């Protein structure tokens, strides 16, 4: 059995206020505080790997946790914007049995939650996804068996 902590990146400010490449949009000060608080929330968990979208705001969200756990942040395309919720499920299938932190974007989390709702693992009314929040997905033999929400710190 494995657990995936699917994290929506912390607060990064408004996309429309950022003039550079959106991949380089950093966390705001409150987003940095969320990232530190996330590290505090998860540092006691048995985590094997930390994978993230390569976008700066995602990497910055899990860097404090990686530092605490002495792990590296592994950028993967499967967690980038537009990758889709199924890409998270495929990644979990490929790495089944491991305890993972997966940092991604709102559109990916939204599609992932739609899959969980369709599978009857989550009532629509509980499908929250604020910035900096985490979905804890339990996996057995590559199938998700439970989903639990951790509100953003």
Instruction: Name the β-bridge partners of 2.
Output: 139
pLDDT at residue number 58:
97
- Give per-residue pLDDT as tens, 22-44: 788 999 999 999 999 999 999 89
On whether the 2-150 domain is CATH 3.40.50.1240, my answer is yes
pLDDT at residue number 147:
95
- Give per-residue pLDDT as tens, 97-109: 999 999 999 999 9
Given a contact cutoff of 8 angstroms between Cβ atoms, the answer to whether 113 and 133 are in contact is: no
Instruction: Name the β-bridge partners of 144.
Output: 139
pLDDT at residue number 14:
79
Kindly list the domain boundaries of the chain, sorted by start residue: 2-150
pTM score, two decimals?
0.95
Low-confidence ranges of the chain (pLDDT < 50): none
């Amino acid at each position: 059995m494995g657990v995936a902590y699917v994290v929506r990146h912390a607060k990064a400010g408004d996309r429309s206020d950022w003039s550079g490449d959106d991949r380089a949009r950093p966390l705001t000060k409150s987003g940095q505080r969320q990232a530190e608080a996330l590290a505090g929330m998860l540092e006691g968990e048995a985590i094997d790997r930390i994978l993230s979208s390569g976008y700066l705001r995602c990497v910055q969200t899990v860097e404090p946790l990686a530092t605490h756990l002495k792990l590296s942040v592994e950028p993967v395309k499967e967690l980038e914007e537009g990758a889709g919720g199924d890409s998270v499920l495929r990644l979990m299938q490929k790495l089944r049995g491991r305890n993972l932190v997966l940092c991604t974007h709102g559109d990916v989390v939204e599609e992932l939650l739609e899959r969980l709702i369709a599978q009857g693992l989550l009532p629509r009314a509980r499908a929250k996804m604020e910035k900096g929040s985490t979905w804890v997905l339990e996996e057995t033999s590559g199938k998700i068996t439970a989903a639990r929400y951790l509100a953003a710190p």
